[in-house]
Structure 1
Amino acid sequence: MKLLLKNPDNALNARLNITKRVSPCLDSCWHYHPEYELIYISQSNGIRFVGDSVSQFFPGDLVLVGSNLPHLWRNDPSYYQDIDENDENKKVKTIIIKFTKDFIGEGTFNNPVFTGVDSLLDQSKFGISFGKTVAKSLHEELDRVVELPQTEQAIKLLDILYRLSLATDRVELSSSDMRQYTQENSQRIDLVLKYISDHHASDITLNDVASIACMTPNSFCRYFKRMTNKSFVQFLNEVRIRDAARLLAQEDLPISEVCDIVGYKSITNFNKQFKLIVGSTPKEYRLNNLNLFFSDKYAQVG
């Protein structure tokens, strides 16, 4: 599996392409493309990789990915086990809007009236995640936009981008500009990312991943840092901790068991890494998620 430059022949001249997908699981390929991409997850969960960012995603996830920025949404392991295409609860439902900067005309966003949108598109080189309030307000429109005639799709996308440019509840994902303009040595990093994603709960060593990349450990460390902006150990910790956060939010398991499931042998190290990456202890994180759950449920009833 390799990092792909996605640009199929039948879409070479397409400035705007909107699709609604229902599938057993998400793509398992770390890729990039020259188009911008607005991705809305209406049903699915797992871990997403955008540039050097490793984060959880849940239903309602809304992200704008910039041109040539590598990204991958990877489902939780349960999606890949005993796939039942008739199980509606296990299906992945996404809306993907892929567009070029000139989707309504060359130089449109150079007009001063579109300064906000132009700034948003520039910021998207880091990947932008929007908050639940923003995503919820756009849910129905995103769900219907695929059914509109092409002209109306372009008008609606412009409206959506304008509203997103006004949103204050948004977060840059990648800490640095990770845009790719060449596929040189890309197969190596893709194999490594897939291996880490699939085996992070095991006792992965530097020698293991260096072997996957067919490199010496020292050469691999330099290569991995250049490609992800993080050390191998730092990246592995982030994948493990994001998976742990998912388990703490979704499952009623003892914290010590979650620690063991995601690959930590020491509860002390687990707590330390969790606080460093998430910003709270595992116990605090679980309590905060419970409070959010009951607040949302109460708001719906009210």
Structure 2
Amino acid sequence: MIDIASFMMAGGRMIASERIQGVNDNMAKSHYHEYYELYYLEYGKRYHMVDDSIYSLNSGEFIIFPPYSMHHSYGDNDVPFKRLLVYFTPETVMVPEVLHIFSQSAGVYRFDTKTSQSVHFLLKEILKEQEDAEGYHFDAMKMLLNQILIKTARRSDETAAPENQSRITEILHYLHNHYSENITLEDLASRFYISPYYLCREFKRYTNSTIIQYINNIRIIHAQRLFMETNRTITDISKEVGFSNVTHFNRVFKSIIGMSPSKSRKQHADQKEQG
């Protein structure tokens, strides 16, 4: 599945929309963005693994992911689905208090039929503005988006709870809290009283990722945040997020992000100056 909206964002857009439908179209592994994502399920049923929690999403429900939130979606076999999404940067949100609400953690919203239809209508209007590209279409998209966010913020206490915790979600929670430590497969299996073979198999089934890949993704996410929020050296940051030497950190960072840590930091600095 080609995500055209993500290419738009990579090209400098502050807001982009896209509608996609499919069946048996599951993400290969967890990923994250440097911007927000609003994912509205028009029909079908999908599951979303977000950091260390799993949520189910039914027709007419939507989820908002904050930046740097690891997530991937998947569905049951042969169940078709259609979703409408909007990517947006923090700068597009007009009310600071609203931005703060959605920056905390991902949330699934299950509104009554009337409110859900209202959100759906506004999302379709955002996509239409993008496709028509008439005068002031970006401003119109921004205004429509903020209507959705304000509607949702007013009912932010109605977010749905994740699915019941399983052994794997407990392990994911542990990894998100201890990613900077030296975690081995044997230690992890022993801590949760399961065999290394079973742990690897079930972890791969839930996350489409190996344990090492998942830990490295968490570490790189936190490293990127530290690049943006501090002036600390790359060596210091690599140690803080759990790498024993900066050479290994540089190699893993480039394999995940596609560029070196120094180039990524410069890119963030340039974007900040331009903004």
What interval of TM-score do these two structures reach, taking the shorter chain for normalisation?
Answer: 0.5 to 0.7
CA contact (8 A) 1:203 1:263 kept: yes
Q: Per the alignment, do residues 54 and 243 of structure 1 end up closer, same or farther by CA in structure 2, a change over 3 Å counting?
A: farther
- Gapped runs of 5+ residues in structure 2? 1-26, 62-80, 99-111, 132-162
Residue 55 of structure 1 aligns with an amino acid whose one-letter code is Y
Q: Per the alignment, do residues 292 and 132 of structure 1 end up closer, same or farther by CA in structure 2, a change over 3 Å counting?
A: same
CA contact (8 A) 2:203 2:211 kept: yes
- CA distances 1:262-291 after superposition (whole Å, capped 9, x unpaired): 000121110011011111111011111111
Q: Per the alignment, do residues 165 and 192 of structure 1 end up closer, same or farther by CA in structure 2, a change over 3 Å counting?
A: farther
Matched, 1:72 2:50: yes
Q: Per the alignment, do residues 213 and 122 of structure 1 end up closer, same or farther by CA in structure 2, a change over 3 Å counting?
A: farther
Query: Structure 1-normalised TM-score?
Result: 0.50
- CA distances 1:95-152 after superposition (whole Å, capped 9, x unpaired): xxx985368xxxxxxxxxxxxxxxxx6246xxx561328x82x756x95xxxxxx787
- Cα distance in 2 for residues equivalent to 1:153 and 1:123: 17
Shift of 1:218: 1.7
- CA distances 1:147-186 after superposition (whole Å, capped 9, x unpaired): xxx7873453122221454558xxxxxxxxxxxxxx79x5
Q: Residue 265 of structure 2 corresponds to which residue in structure 1?
A: 286
2:209 is paired with a residue of what secondary structure? Answer: coil
CA contact (8 A) 1:213 1:220 kept: no
Q: Residue 53 of structure 1 corresponds to which residue in structure 2?
A: 30
Q: Per the alignment, do residues 51 and 129 of structure 1 end up closer, same or farther by CA in structure 2, a change over 3 Å counting?
A: farther
Q: Residue 255 of structure 1 corresponds to which residue in structure 2?
A: 234
Matched, 1:161 2:140: no
Mapping for residues 1-302 of structure 1, pairs under 5 Å: 52-55=29-32, 61-64=36-39, 67-72=45-50, 101=59, 122-123=82-83, 130-132=87-89, 136=92, 153-166=115-128, 187-296=166-275
Shift of 1:52: 3.6
Query: Structure 2-normalised TM-score?
Result: 0.55
Q: Per the alignment, do residues 271 and 163 of structure 1 end up closer, same or farther by CA in structure 2, a change over 3 Å counting?
A: farther
Between the two structures, name the one with larger relative contact order (CA 8 Å, sep ≥ 6): 1
CA contact (8 A) 2:30 2:208 kept: no
Identity fraction in percent = 23
Q: Per the alignment, do residues 164 and 226 of structure 1 end up closer, same or farther by CA in structure 2, a change over 3 Å counting?
A: farther
**Superposition CA RMSD, Å:** 3.6
CA contact (8 A) 1:51 1:69 kept: no
Shift of 1:69: 1.6
Q: Per the alignment, do residues 54 and 198 of structure 1 end up closer, same or farther by CA in structure 2, a change over 3 Å counting?
A: farther
Residue 282 of structure 1 aligns with an amino acid whose one-letter code is P
- Cα distance in 1 for residues equivalent to 2:193 and 2:47: 25
Shift of 1:64: 1.3
Shift of 1:71: 3.4
- Cα distance in 2 for residues equivalent to 1:270 and 1:99: 36
- Gapped runs of 5+ residues in structure 1? 1-49, 75-97, 104-120, 144-149, 169-182, 297-302
Q: Which deviates the most, 63-72 or 196-205?
A: 63-72
- Cα distance in 2 for residues equivalent to 1:100 and 1:195: 28
CA contact (8 A) 1:56 1:243 kept: no
- Cα distance in 2 for residues equivalent to 1:267 and 1:224: 28
- Cα distance in 2 for residues equivalent to 1:293 and 1:73: 27
Shift of 1:208: 2.2
1:122 is paired with a residue of what secondary structure? Answer: strand
1:64 is paired with a residue of what secondary structure? Answer: strand
- Cα distance in 2 for residues equivalent to 1:99 and 1:196: 25
CA contact (8 A) 2:227 2:265 kept: yes
Residue 210 of structure 2 aligns with an amino acid whose one-letter code is S
Q: Residue 299 of structure 1 corresponds to which residue in structure 2?
A: none
